Every structure is written in structure tokens, then in C-alpha cells.
Amino acid sequence: MGLNRRVGFFAGLKYRGGGPMWAWILHRVTGIAMVLFVGTHVFASFFMQQTGSDLATNINIVYESWIFQIVVTFIVIFHGLNGMRIAILDIWPKFQVFQREALWLQWFIFIPIYGLTVFILIQRAIAGNY
């Protein structure tokens, strides 16, 4: 059944849940984005290989460009790390007490991995290796 809420999208954003709320929103947004982008990439690759379609080739050229890859790597790395935090806290519910610390730890792991990825992407793009 669920609650019968009449809360609009922008009213919902005013809820002051802090870090965990934004992690929840980002998890959903990045999840939807991944289904969209990676799903499009899968279908485009299939039609590029099978029929040599120009549209599919252009979609893949956009997907593989370094600017788009900066967005995609953010989406994938954030969703993966946040999902690991959720799964680990669900398996050992005693650690739920430390969920804010877990969120900080997650960002401390995220920043070096993503920073290194962006550094490599921009370095290669400037060197013209793509």
C-alpha cells in the first residue's frame, strides 16, 4: 500500500536529510542514467555490428568521447561504491550506527579513484591520444 503522500518533487528537495539523503538521490539518478547510457550503448553496439547503422555509430562516438566518459565514470564509480556501502550495512546492520562515518569513508575512497580517472582522461585528451 505505502503512504499516501502528496509531496511534489521540489517540496521533497527541501527535506533536510543531509548527506545520506543526497546519497540516496544520487544513487537513484545515477542508476537511471546507467540504464539509459549503458543500455543505449549496448543496443547501439549491437546495431553497429549487425547492420552498420550510421545512427548507432554516431551514438557510440558520443559515448566514447572523453568528455562523456568523465560523466560516465562518475556515474559508475559513485553507484558502485554507494551500492557497496548499502549492501555492507544491510548485511551487518550493527554498523548502521556508523552510517554517517561510512558515507565519509565512501567519499574518501571515491575522490582518489575518480580523481585519478579524470586526470588520466584529461591528460590523454590533451596529448591527443584518442
Judged by the rule CB under 8 A, the positions of this chain that interact with other proteins are 2, 28, 31-32, 34-35, 38-39, 42-43, 45-46, 49, 64, 69, 80, 83-84, 86-87, 90-91, 117, 120-121, 124, 129-130
- In angstroms, give the least distance from the CB of 92 to other proteins: 12
Closer residue to other proteins in complex, CB, 16/94: 94
For other proteins, give the closer residue by CB, 21 or 35.
Answer: 35
For the chain, how big is the Rg over CA atoms in Å?
19
